[in-house]
Amino acid sequence: MIYSIKLALKSLWFEKWIHMLTVVTIGVGLFVLGLIFFSLYNIEGITSRLPERFSVTVFLSAGTGNREINQLRVRLREDPIVKRIKYISKEAALVELRTSLKDAAYILEGLDENPLLPSIEIRLKENGFDKKKVEGLINRLKSLRDVDDVVYGENLLGTIYTIRNAVKTISAGVILLFSMAIIFVCYSTVKILFYRRKEEIEIFKLLGATKGFIRLPFLIEGGTLGFLGGLLGGAGTYVLYRFINGTVISDFPILGVMHMPLGLVAALPAGGAILGIIGSTIALGRLKF
């Protein structure tokens, strides 16, 4: 084991130029991956906070009795995607309207009867935020006898849904593509190293080396290349984030909501090492005695 590490380090040093190139290539690849994860993380963050602002208002028919209202409230509370509900009686609605009108409240003066409808405001759970489920709930509500109308942000619902799905699909594709590219870079580097040391490996075999003994230095090498690439990519991602946070943010305050998960920076070297080992394993293939 120690000897394998020594062999790997020696080879890493001996072939430092080709390795530098590999590390930079992997670094760039992982940098892009880092950016994708970074964007994904933030888009997830933003869209997962959107459902809080999304509400469904159920207007009840004018003559609905207290018993029916209470029944409906119980039913809604038990619904798996409902977070909380708020009942607004028609009196409360009028008070609210008055306050929001402020100085213009006099336009309500002439009314001798409250024209407003009682309503129930529904807030949804974040994890239950699924277009089909939400629409299912709304359709069920609309079909009820006591329900006059259901008002909700149809566009918002659709937009959140589309953004989330598109982002997930595209990211998955790009992540897969870049992971494969990184594996390929490690694969070809290790393949070259392997062929350069072919003669040496033949001698190793004749002296009684196991396949593991022959493979290990190459796996360590590939893993180290991936790891170093990951450090580079992680550093790049972090620097870019600091730059955005420091300079760009003063011009575009919107970006202030962005966060950089430190776990991501740490995960890049680990991810790089894993991709490197995968690439090396494929490069070595099946050894024969």
- List contacts with another protein (CB under 8 A): 3, 200, 202-211, 213, 288-289
Closer residue to another protein, CB minimum distance, 54 or 213: 213
Which is closer to another protein, CB of 11 or CB of 237? Answer: 11
CB of 10 to another protein, least distance (A): 10
Q: Rounded to the nearest 10 degrees, what angle do helices 154-196 and 131-142 cross at?
A: 160
| Beta carbon nearer to another protein, 67 or 286 | 286
Q: How far is the CB of 221 from another protein (least distance, A)?
A: 17
Closest separation in Å from C-beta 289 to another protein:
5
Q: Minimum distance from CB of 208 to another protein (Å)?
A: 4
Query: Considering beta carbons, is residue 173 or 212 the nearer one to another protein?
Result: 212
CB of 87 or CB of 204, closer to another protein = 204
In this complex, which beta carbon is closest to another protein, that of residue 131 or of residue 196?
196
* 80 contact partners, CB below 8 Å, separation of at least 6: 125, 128
Residue (142 or 211) nearer to another protein, CB: 211
Q: How far is the CB of 41 from another protein (least distance, A)?
A: 46
Q: Cβ 177 to another protein, closest distance in Å? A: 37
Residue 13 beta carbon to another protein: minimum distance, rounded to whole angstroms: 13
DSSP the chain: -HHHHHHHHHHHHHTHHHHHHHHHHHHHHHHHHHHHHHHHHHHHHHHHHHHHH-EEEEEEPTT--HHHHHHHHHHHHHSTTEEEEEEE-HHHHHHHHHHHHGGGGGGGTT-SS-----EEEEEE-STT--HHHHHHHHHHHHTSTTEEEEEE-HHHHHHHHHHHHHHHHHHHHHHHHHHHHHHHHHHHHHHHHHHHTHHHHHHHHHTT--HHHHHHHHHHHHHHHHHHHHHHHHHHHHHHHHHIIIIIHHH-GGGGG----HHHHHHHHHHHHHHHHHHHHHHH-----
